[in-house]
Amino acid sequence: MARTCRHLLLLSTLLAAQVYAKTPPPQPIVPVPSFAQLAWQRLEYYAFIHFGMNTFSDREWGEGREPASDFNPTAFDARQWARVVRDAGMRGIIITAKHHDGFCLWPSATTDYSVKNSKWLDGKGDVLRDLAAACREFGLKFGIYISPWDRNHPLYGTPKYNRVYKEQWHELFTNYGPVFEAWLDGANDNKKRMVYDFDGFFTSIRSAQPNVMIFSDAGPDIRWVGNERGLAGETNWSARDNEGTFPGFADEAALNVGDENGTSWIPAECDVSIRPGWFYHADEDTKLKSVDQLMNIYYGSVGRNCNLLLNIGVDRRGLVNEHDIARLMEFKQAREKAFAVNPARGKVTASNVRGNDRRFAATNVLDGSFDTYWATDDGVTNASLTLDFGKDTDIDTVLLQENIALGQRVKGFSIEIWNGSDFVPVAHATTIGYKRIVRFAPQRTSKVRIVIEAAKACPTISTLEIYNSSRN
């Protein structure tokens, strides 16, 4: 009996192996994201915080001439920042630890122009220390921006300044715990031009924290979307042909859409401020973006294969202002309402399933897991998914995700609804990537069909969600 059981177990194992060998998973389409890039993409939405000397001089671009003693928040509370950010549904904070004026929010040994020479806490304060601790407490990722442009440092404009800037990154990466994103741009002085050692900067950053994601206009890990409106292109490839680009590269036409056949995986990040400016100004308390504007930004960033970096200017007290808090919470409520009810349940079928293997079945798009997916046979790049609700349902939004661990594939797709006798198109779009949200005029239908019209290789769709975002 024991021998028979062993034989049966061996036979079942061999049969399973044969099935797997017959239907291998799709081959990746390079480039593909690194593990760190994939984890970053899943964050989707986090905060930029501008706070510094400009907060007290009421400027956007300071010149580094204001005395360090002018920095003196009266009620600084990093825990309040973190609590607001978490409650707003954000997943991290990137702090402007040094803006173009050169003032450092930590007691840097590289300059006298820092909190150590301010009136705040008699020079004993450290914004980075308190914020890093607050992020850990509230379960947020912690990121840092320091401008390479420094309008105060006496060595700026000379080769020696490159060493100063690297040392500033070293201080930040060795004293404040894990950093999820290092943010730098190509800001430069028009008169005292600085030749930046960007390759050296990146090497220094990686040597201190190998897993950090580095943002600049052209990567290496995350690229700028090319504008400060927070909007990606209707077509947005995560791949880029990055040859000849650099931090400071500001070609919106190229950055906004990426490159279908790019050789590097460099997804885009959308940065935009909730106010007209980046730093806090009291006269902008009534000029915050409306909820409708913020929702359109969300659909145009997260909904177009990007991450959204929404800026908050902390006020002179050292607090997120009440006006900003109210708008952030209204924005959260609007997102929750739009995506509250997902009727994407019922019978889902596909025109083709890879090897007729349930590991690649259409039902995978409804299981709530990013790691399972529907796939077609190799060479099948025109295919469809049909979802039957079983009853008439009001809809106006479709959310799709590709399993981008295998590369970004879809080049064009359409959304069709059943009108009682036939399927008719209601929307067409191009790329999907990590996440694509398509809105269309409200429809009442019992069936929806997603038609993949063109793809670089067999599609790998991990998620299908459907909403009625405009319901009362």
**How does pLDDT run across 306-336, given as a tens digit for each residue?**
999 999 999 999 999 999 999 999 999 999 9
Q: Which burial class, exposed, middle or buried, applies to 17 when counting CB atoms under 10 A from its CB (0-12, 13-18, 19+)?
A: exposed
Say which CATH number the domain at 65 has: 3.20.20.80
Average of per-residue pLDDT across 255-271? 97
Closest CA to 248 of 313, 297, 193, 205: 193
**How does pLDDT run across 112-127, given as a tens digit for each residue?**
999 999 999 999 999 9
Average of per-residue pLDDT across 271-294? 98
Asked whether the predicted pLDDT for residue 16 surpasses 50, the reply is no
User: Same domain, yes or no, for 282 and 426?
Assistant: no
- Bond prior to 31 in cis (omega within 30° of 0): yes
421: how many CB neighbours lie within 10 A of its CB? Answer: 6
Q: What are the φ and ψ backbone dihedral angles of 22, each rounded to 5 degrees?
A: -70, -30
Distances from the Cα of 3 to the Cαs of 7, 8, 10, 12, 61, in angstroms? 6, 9, 11, 14, 80
Our separate counts of H helices and E strands in the chain read 10, 17
How far is residue 36's CA from residue 429's CA, in Å, rounded to a whole number?
28
> What is the pLDDT at residue 340?
94
- 377 is a domain residue: yes
CB 140 within 8 A of CB 86: yes
* Three-state secondary structure call for residue 268: strand
Average of per-residue pLDDT across 133-161? 97
Asked whether the predicted pLDDT for residue 352 surpasses 90, the reply is yes
How far is residue 94's CA from residue 61's CA, in Å, rounded to a whole number?
19
CB 209 within 8 A of CB 216: no
Residue 183: its H or E element: strand 181-183
Asked whether the predicted pLDDT for residue 13 surpasses 50, the reply is no
Look at the chain and report how many structural domains it folds into: 2
- Strand intervals (E) in 304-459: 307-313, 347-350, 374-375, 383-402, 410-418, 423-429, 436-455
User: Same domain, yes or no, for 197 and 247?
Assistant: yes
> What is the pLDDT at residue 251?
87
* Triad 427, 431, 434: Cα angle to 5°: 115
Question: Where do we find the tokens 């049969």?
Answer: 15
How far is residue 428's CA from residue 445's CA, in Å, rounded to a whole number?
18
> What is the pLDDT at residue 430?
98
Residue 2 pLDDT grade (very low, low, confident, very high; cuts 50, 70, 90): very low
> What crossing angle do the helices spanning 160-175 and 127-137 adopt, rounded to 10°?
40
Asked whether the predicted pLDDT for residue 346 surpasses 90, the reply is no
**How does pLDDT run across 152-184, given as a tens digit for each residue?**
999 999 999 999 999 999 999 999 999 999 999
Say which CATH number the domain at 426 has: 2.60.120.260
Average of per-residue pLDDT across 385-391? 96
**How does pLDDT run across 400-440, given as a tens digit for each residue?**
999 999 999 999 999 999 999 999 999 999 999 999 999 99
User: Same domain, yes or no, for 316 and 422?
Assistant: no
Residue 343 pLDDT grade (very low, low, confident, very high; cuts 50, 70, 90): confident
- 135 is a domain residue: yes
- Residue 3's contacts (CB-CB under 8 Å, 6 or more residues apart) are none
- 30 is a domain residue: no
Q: What is the mean pLDDT of the chain?
A: 94
Average of per-residue pLDDT across 287-302? 98
Residue scoring higher pLDDT (193 or 87): 87
How far is residue 45's CA from residue 91's CA, in Å, rounded to a whole number?
6
Q: Which burial class, exposed, middle or buried, applies to 71 when counting CB atoms under 10 A from its CB (0-12, 13-18, 19+)?
A: buried
- Residue 419's contacts (CB-CB under 8 Å, 6 or more residues apart) are 445
Question: Where do we find the tokens 């949200």?
Answer: 437
CB 58 within 8 A of CB 107: no
- Note down the domain range covering 295: 35-338
Asked whether the predicted pLDDT for residue 458 surpasses 80, the reply is yes
Average of per-residue pLDDT across 338-351? 91
User: Same domain, yes or no, for 224 and 353?
Assistant: no
Retrieve residue 276's tokens.
């007209």
- 16 is a domain residue: no
User: Same domain, yes or no, for 319 and 448?
Assistant: no
Asked whether the predicted pLDDT for residue 15 surpasses 50, the reply is no
User: Same domain, yes or no, for 227 and 357?
Assistant: no
User: Same domain, yes or no, for 289 and 412?
Assistant: no
Average of per-residue pLDDT across 357-383? 97
Question: Where do we find the tokens 């809105």?
Answer: 439
CB 259 within 8 A of CB 298: no
Average of per-residue pLDDT across 25-42? 97
> What is the pLDDT at residue 471?
67
Q: Where are the alpha helices (DSSP H) in 271-360?
A: 291-301, 322-338
User: Same domain, yes or no, for 280 and 364?
Assistant: no
- DSSP state at residue 82: H
User: Same domain, yes or no, for 373 and 418?
Assistant: yes
CB 268 within 8 A of CB 238: yes
Residue 12 pLDDT grade (very low, low, confident, very high; cuts 50, 70, 90): very low
